[in-house]
Amino acid sequence: MGSLLAAVLATALAGCATPPPASDKEAVADFNETNDPLEPTNRFFYKINNGLDAYFLRPIALGYRYVPAPVRHGVHNALANLGTPVQLANDMLEGKPRRAGDTWMRFIINTTVGGVGVFDLAKGWGYPSHDADFGLTFGVWGIPEGPFLFLPFLGPSDPRDFVGFGAGLAADPFTWVGQGAVVTALDWSKFAVSAIDARERVLDDVDQIKKTALDPYATFRSLYRQHRASQLEAIKGDRRATVPVWFPQH
């Protein structure tokens, strides 16, 4: 993963945007605000991803919509349940015992009475889901995001999130449990279904952006950075007591 990141960054550095002259303070402020010094290369990768999406992933996601909604929701819930071990690890690394407790209870409830995670019963029982991944954990630790990146196949990101993505793969028990053709096939199937599920869930939003935005790339960049900043602030601001609010207080 480290060598892949180095290769991507090396390619990106070959296509850096030229900073505006220091005398143009407004342009400099805008350049710093977008945090996209690698914009020419990022736009190149965006075009590649957009083509792959238009001719491959989006049609599959559209076809997936013909699957009944309850089935799609069940698949999404099951995939989320499979990601619980990594989520729990991040909750603990972020120093959030209440969030870790909620994640653990969600896993126990949904894996058992929730039919291996197909039904999210834990949400209705007072244990809602929340965001947690290594990119956010690194942010909680104070590691800066770095410049915006638009990566091949992965889409919007930044160095912190890209390394966090690799750390998440390394920490996933399914990366290490079992071996052989069957296990490999199951791992790739899980990856493929996750990608289709994620794409289907944003079909309408992405279509709307591409239809109405003057510069879809800039819109995706802005929305991604805002979303990640919002997720990080939610974690930092979560100072709930360890005992759930519904537990009888004496």
At 15-44, the pLDDT tens digits run 566 665 556 556 556 666 889 999 999 999
* Residue 215 placed within a domain: yes
Question: Contacts for 237-240 with beta carbons within 8 Å, 24 or more apart?
Answer: 238/96, 238/98, 238/99, 238/130, 240/98, 240/99
* Residue 74 placed within a domain: no
CA nearest neighbour of 92 among 235, 232, 227: 235
* Residue 146 placed within a domain: yes
Range among 30-34, 83-87, 184-188 rated most confident: 83-87
- State how many domains the chain has: 1
In tens, the pLDDT along 234-244 reads 999 998 777 66
Q: What is the mean pLDDT of residues 85-109?
A: 96
* Residue 139 placed within a domain: yes
Reported pTM: 0.86
**How many CB atoms sit inside 10 A of residue 19's CB?**
12
* Residue 82 placed within a domain: no
More confident residue, 203 or 187: 203
Q: What is the mean pLDDT of residues 1-19?
A: 52
* Residue 111 placed within a domain: no
Domain region containing 146: 2-28+37-66+133-236
* Residue 87 placed within a domain: no
d(CA 143, CA 126): 32
* Confidence class for position 99, pLDDT limits 50, 70, 90: very high
* Residue at 123: amino acid letter: K
* Residue 14 placed within a domain: yes
